Structure 1
Amino acid sequence: MTVEITSLEQRYENLCLAEDSKDQLFKDLFKKLRELKGELCQKEDEVDNQERIAASFREENKTYKSELDSMRRDQGKLSYVSVLVDGDGMNFLGSLVQDGEKGGHEAARRLIKAVQDHVQNVDPDIPPNTCYKIRIYANAEGLTRAYHAASVLPTDQDLTTFIQGFNKGDTMCDFVDVGHGKECCDVKLQDLLKQDIDDLHCRRIIFCASADDGYATVLRPRQGMKPISLVEGPPFARAMKELSLTFESTSFETVFMTDKLKPRRVSFGPTNTTITPPRTPTQNYALAAKAPPPQPPPQSPAQAQAQAQAQAQATRPATPISNKPKLSVCVNAQGQRVDRSLKISAKETIKSLKSRKLCNMFHILDACSYSGCTHEHGTVLDSQDLTDLMFIARSSPCYTGLSCRDINCISGHRCAFGDKCPHADCRFERSMHGVDTVIVRTVEYVVG
């Protein structure tokens, strides 16, 4: 009996322990619930705060987006595409140039249309209100002579009306005459190119100077800084050809010629050549000896005496043929034309002769194809002056280059400095530097 009571007591104690454990469990559960509820309320407060902050951010974002759109619209009003053209090397189609002011207006319209089509093709997201700034720099007088020499323009027509028509074609079109000196055009275009690359409003640059490697030195270090398109008129020069593989490239064949202007020079052969007289009545003895004397009208004794003196002067022996330079086509082993070396005077003498603005064609070739020539014809030069004048004439590169075979060509076919040329913007193409001067074949012709 005692054992049973003890067992019952033990069972009771165990039950009490279980009840106590159950009570403690419920107490712990309620405590945990209170803690979780507190944390939930805290999280709810945090969420409410985050929602208020998010709502504030949404409002601010909406405001910022509106301001950004407004800034983009304002920037779009100022954004532009820059079109830079070396007018000396990128020549307009002859049909446009021949049409004077009307042709200039049409050239501006075609150029703008060609640029717009190209930009839409390579940058379709460009703002519709983007303007196009077209700036052409050229030596108008020299360019006129080139068109005359290539028989594109008659000698009684210049580029004045064409340029005026181009400038009137659009308010953003500017054709600027930089005057004499090729470097004038190069320097201006290079500085404008650098400025447009740094200008945030410039959306793209359309660069038109395919035949001049001098611009490669400015373009090459700026690859990737600004979208640039290279336009090919005459074939790309070597360095520009390399860059065209990196930049966008295109051609505007409705606007620019695809070849360089090639002069059609005066030919001395069995056919008769018309000689343009000097602007001032200066006697050329070699020509006077060839021409029959005119029949004089009735004269007074004083006039007859003056005429007799003039005839005596005109019938003086012609300048010896040795005073005339020998024009020749010299070719090296590569088939390239080579300019024969000249024994020239001192630099001061060359500079003085150059300042006289002599007509090279008149003095060297005994003929000038320009009816309105403004350069000095004057008296016959002596042998050394003719040699020096030939040297001066060679400072202008031949349009045809090393392949020239015109025996009457007096332009230069190689840079006088060769591979050691100190001029980064030398007007001679790179291929005309370091030319092999060993002559393997020569055809000579003596002017006179």
Structure 2
Amino acid sequence: MLRDSDIDSLNGHLASLSLEQQKQHDNLQDLLGRFKSLLDDYSSLKSDYEEVKEGREKYKRQARGQDRNPFVLVLVDGDGYMFKEHFLKNGSEGGIAAARELSDSVKELMHSTMGMQAEQCRIMVRVYANVLGLSKALARAGLTGHEARSLSPFTSSFTRSQELFDYVDAAEKKEGSDFKIREMFRLFADLNQCRHIYFAGCHDTGYGSLLTPYRGRSDRITLIKAAGFHREFEALDLPIRELPSVFMSTPLLNSKPPTGPAAAKVNGNANGANGMHHVSTGSTGGISTKPICKHFQKGICKFGHGCNKQHVMPNQSLNHLPSPRSSGDSPPQSAKSTSSFWSSPTAGRTDDFLRSMLPLPSIKTEEFIPVNKDGDRIDPYYPQPTPESFSEYHARAKQHKVCNSYHLSGECGDMSCPYDHTDVSNTVIEVLRWMLLQHPCTRAGSCRSIKCYMGHLCQKPGCKAVKSWQCRFNQNAHTLELQIARWDIPTDQDDIGDQWSVSDGSIGETSPGTMFD
């Protein structure tokens, strides 16, 4: 039988063993807990790794995808950049030929700006324009027919001729083309697949803010120069190139150049390459030293283009004559500074002065109304037709009097109109427009109808309006401030046709189709 001491010893040993077993159990549980925590951390890290790996692979796939199908974008504001005349005149065939010529010209540019990379890039072209307004302007210039959308055959063929070429109608809304071009530029400017953008919209300084963030980025942007190019774009430090075989280098409608001796001094037409006036030089290559005509500066030179002195504005530098104005441009500083010379009705405004101050006919004058600081409407400049033009007009009128409304605005609301709506030559339309301008609009400077073709100021050179029988216009129409302050949106004035009719040289109240005899 065990002694009490043995029993106590065994109890102590058993308690010690039980305590040791508990410690081992606790250690094992702690170890298992740590192991499980490590497994959880591993799983989390593995998940993060897989996500990073997947993202990296996706980026690689995207990068490889961007390396495929690279292209260059040609953005064209069609309201300001006109395709060459022979393209427009040929309609559908001209659209195909214009697209082909544009493609070939851009390929040449690509090789000069992109090197070997050009071989891998396709060409995407987006042209945005107000097709209806452009059709009217081109019809009046004799480049298309007089249908409402006479430019459509050209635009449709242009779009069909190349897979990535689109000529888009931006509708008649104000700044419609601008809005489209801005969004397209922002969409593609930083896209890796778009390797370069050729921007053809430098006739409108409103695009300056769009291009300014890319100043100096010659690797991404190239500017295309054409008619109406603004010198402000040169400050962007971007390459400037021309496509002379694609776009017109002069405005759509130009005033006729000076003739006679004065033509040797100052050529009024814009030079297609640099947009500067031509100044005659002497045999030594310097500026001509012929005296300046003071009578011209006062608006009373009676010799006109036949004058043997130089016709330049006061304070005008002879070695850097200002560029000819396009519609919407501010007048030359010299013209601004001498506007007071022309405020007196006793001097009369010369044809040279009117041509330098008035806006030239353009798409902008077809859509908006130029207005001076006093709120008076300003008419575009139209030179007097030649005797040959008048003869052609009178011969056509003897056959059948043409409808003023139809041939000037492209539409006639009189279903029983007795006047001729068949096609007439551009010369006849020019004479008709000029003759209507010789008759005052009853609303005068407050008229805001885009379809009013009556006169809102006197454009007769040298007209003094001393007696009422000498000129139909009042004195204010001879002293009107000609500097453009703003361009107003036309307002509908449905009764404007009531004052259109002109017969036997007087205003009537009959049909708007009544013609001059």
Q: Return the TM-score normalized by structure 1.
A: 0.49
Larger RCO of the pair (alpha carbons < 8 Å, separation 6+): 1
Higher helix share: 1
Q: Greater Rg, structure 1 or structure 2?
A: 1
Q: Return the TM-score normalized by structure 2.
A: 0.43
